[in-house]
C-alpha cells in the first residue's frame, strides 16, 4: 500500500526538481530572445511595436528591460557562463549587481559579486554594493515617518 505513494512522491520530487532547474535558467534565454525580438524587429508583421508585443505577452517593459540588460551585461559583455548566473539567488539580484557595478568593472569584480549573489539576499547584495568603499553607517542621522491609516499619506514625525 505504501509503494504507490512512494512512487508518486519520488515522481513528484523528480518533476519538481526538473521544473525548478528549467525555470531558474529560463530568465537568461528570455533576455536573449527579447533582445533579438527588439533589436531585429521580429515583432513586425504581428505587432506594430515592441511595446505592443510586450503588452500582448503580458511582459512589463520594466521586466523586459531588466532581462535584456542581464543578457547584455553578463553574457555578451563579460562572457560569464550561464551556469554561474543561474546559481545567483534570483534574476533580480543579478540585475541589481549589474545596475550598481560601474560599466568599466573588471571581470574579476563582477565574478566576485556573482559569487556573493549565490549566498546573499538581494537586499544584502544591494546594501553591500552601494556601501562598498564607504565607512559602515552607524545610522545616527535618521528621521521618523508616520503614515496616515486613512489615506496612506506619509509625513515626517514630530
State percent of the chain over pLDDT 70.
94
- Count of the separate structural domains present in the chain: 1
What's the pTM value of the predicted model, to 2 decimals? 0.74
92: containing domain: 2-134
Per-residue pLDDT tens digits for 31-85: 999 999 999 999 999 999 999 999 999 999 999 999 999 999 999 999 999 999 9
In a domain, 145, yes or no: no
- Mapped onto helix, strand or coil, the DSSP state of residue 153 is coil
Q: What is the DSSP string of 42-91?
A: TTBTTBSSHHHHHHHTT--HHHHHHHHHHIIIIIIIS---HHHHHTSS-H
Report yes or no on 156 lying in a domain.
no
**93 in Cβ contact with 129 (< 8 Å):** no
Cα(78)–Cα(18) distance, integer angstroms: 28
Amino acid at each position: 500500500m505504501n509503494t504507490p505513494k512512494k512512487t508518486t512522491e519520488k515522481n513528484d520530487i523528480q518533476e519538481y526538481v526538473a521544473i525548478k532547474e528549467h525555470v531558474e535558467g529560463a530568465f537568461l534565454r528570455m533576455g536573449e530572445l527579447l533582445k533579438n525580438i527588439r533589436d531585429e524587429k521580429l515583432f513586425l508583421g504581428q505587432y506594430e511595436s515592441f511595446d505592443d508585443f510586450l503588452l500582448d505577452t503580458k511582459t512589463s517593459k520594466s521586466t523586459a528591460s531588466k532581462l535584456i540588460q542581464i543578457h547584455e551585461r553578463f553574457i555578451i559583455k563579460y562572457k560569464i557562463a550561464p551556469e554561474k548566473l543561474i546559481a545567483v539567488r534570483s534574476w533580480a539580484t543579478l540585475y541589481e549587481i549589474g545596475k550598481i557595478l560601474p560599466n568599466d568593472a573588471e571581470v574579476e569584480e563582477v565574478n566576485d559579486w556573482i559569487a556573493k549573489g549565490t549566498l546573499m539576499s538581494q537586499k544584502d547584495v544591494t546594501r553591500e554594493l552601494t556601501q562598498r568603499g564607504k565607512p559602515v553607517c552607524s545610522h545616527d542621522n535618521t528621521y521618523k515617518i508616520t503614515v496616515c491609516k486613512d489615506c496612506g499619506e506619509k509625513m515626517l514625525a514630530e
